[in-house]
Amino acid sequence: MKNDKTYLLDMLLAAKKIQQFTSGMSKQDFEASELHQSAVLREIQVIGEAARLVSDEAKTQYAEIQWRAISGMRNRVIHEYFRVSLDIVWQLIEEEINDLIESINQILSDDESINNSDED
């Protein structure tokens, strides 16, 4: 089984990809581009799946991250893709991705408290 640090790195990389994919875009540009929507939704899935797999201990320790909301967004994107609101996705891009990146960077800088074992 992967460890918490690996999952956090997966989340961080996916969040940074979202930033990269949408850099310089307006909401209108995003709404007009199925390519960008698809790319961002894929990375939201990665973030949500990795968040779901982070240990309960780490989730408790780092309660500032909205683990449940992140997993819930992943579930919506995967299971209810026909009901995904681009307004909510854009809000996530504009208001939440930077905070998630900062939180994960802070957690990773405190490396000793993260589960680093490669248990099965």
Is 74 considered catalytic here? yes
Q: Which member of 52, 76, 79, 83 is catalytic?
A: 79
What's the one-letter identity of residue 49? E
- The per-residue pLDDT for 78 is 82
Q: Tokens for 114? A: 């993260």
Range(s) of the domain holding residue 37: 4-107
Confidence of residue 63 (pLDDT cuts 50, 70, 90): very high
- The per-residue pLDDT for 113 is 54
Residue 82 in any domain: the answer is yes
Alpha carbon distance 114, 8 (integer Å): 10
Q: Which member of 52, 68, 74, 76 is catalytic?
A: 74
Average pLDDT over residues 35-50: 96
Residue 115 in any domain: the answer is no
What total of structural domains would you count in the chain? 1
Write the burial class of residue 13 (CB in 10 Å: 0-12 exposed, 13-18 middle, 19+ buried).
Answer: middle
Task: Measure CA 16 to chain center.
Answer: 9
